[in-house]
Amino acid sequence: MTAAPLLSIRDLSVDFVTPRGRVQAVREASLDVAPGECLAVVGESGSGKSQLFLACLGLLAARAATRGSARFQGQELLGASAAALNAVRGTRIAMVFQDPMNALTPHLSIGRQLGEVLLDRGLASPLEARERGLAALQGVGLADADSRLRQYPHELSGGQRQRVAIAMALMTRPELLIADEPTTALDVTVQAQVLRVLRRARRDGLAMVLITHDLGVVAGIADRVAIMYAGRIVEIAPVRELFAAPAHPYAAALLEAVPRLSEASVGRLRSIEGQPPAPGEIVQGCAFAPRCADVAEICRREVPSLRPGATRAVACHAPRIRPDLES
């Protein structure tokens, strides 16, 4: 018997009201996150990856409007009260934001910020909070953790701040961690250190959503991948199947743009010609059609729906492989 999803998102849309009109950031997105799995959400900047999960946690800007459903262990999050959301976010669901410098409060010490996560919720005494903060910093591989507790964010490097943000997210032992571009702007050595921390957390049964544009990171940690383009999910597949044989032309183009050390000669990297739709642009048919090498007439007229198969789902009128077939 298949376990019930930890997080179940159905037909979730996010719109923003701007002076230039309505902007559709997310369009009818549906996906599940199973207990203990790592789902990577991949796409170009502006594809709606972050907004999808900020909507689930009630963290969107005031001008945003949402439709659809996002249930965490059966509890509806969209439209929930602030009290109901605060009982979930930061404790049962934690998020690591993209820029740790902005996510951390500059005038508070690292120790105080770590402790607040527990103290504000009555989960520990001040002494217990300090001890758990110390253990959390040691758990993410920060050397001289005791001294780090007394430091401020500006005294740490980018990689150290990112590990502090991860430690803070793990302080309450959540069931689901949403990590938004946790390795962006880090050198490859620090990236590897951060990924080791995330893998270690997964070994304890933590479910994870990894929002990223780095397919190398995806290959090293994810179980499944959801590909987003122009606010829509265009393919969901197990990571090995996607890398072996992508079904959607956009997923295939992303993989073709990844540099490979195995290639005999290094020439110009492949790129995806054209640009994604501008925010607020009304698109007839498939949003990827103007950039697609496999475009057909129907693609310019009708928006393809996300069709589920045996192990994957794809939104394409002419997928490179049928979603009901193993790759």
Neighbours of 94 (CB within 10 A): 24
Q: Where are the domains of the chain?
A: 90-180+190-202
Average pLDDT over residues 296-321: 92
- The whole-angstrom separation of Cα 39 and Cα 202 is 12
pLDDT band at residue 267 using 50, 70 and 90 as cut-offs: low
Q: Which residue stretches of 18-174 are H helix?
A: 49-56, 82-86, 100-103, 110-119, 126-139, 145-150, 158-170
Residues 136-159 pLDDT 10s:
999 888 889 999 999 999 999 888
pTM attached to this predicted model: 0.91
Question: What is the pLDDT at residue 206?
Answer: 93
Q: Would the pLDDT of 95 be above 90?
A: yes
How far, CA to CA in Å, does 180 sit from each of 95, 112, 209? 8, 23, 8
Sign, CA torsion 227/228/229/235? positive
Specify the CATH superfamily of domain 90-180+190-202: P-loop containing nucleotide triphosphate hydrolases (3.40.50.300)
CB distance 130 to 149 below 8 Å: yes
The predicted-structure confidence for 16-72, as pLDDT tens digits, reads as follows 988 878 889 999 999 999 999 999 999 988 899 999 999 999 999 989 999 999 999
Work out the average pLDDT over 314-323. Answer: 86
> For residue 230, what are the contacts with CB-CB under 8 A and spacing of at least 6?
27, 47, 48, 276, 277, 283, 287, 288
Distance CA(164)–CA(155), nearest Å, equals 12
The residues near 13 (Cβ < 8 Å, ≥ 6 apart) are 24, 26, 27, 28, 29, 66, 67, 68
Residue 82 burial (C-beta neighbours within 10 Å; 0-12, 13-18, 19+):
exposed
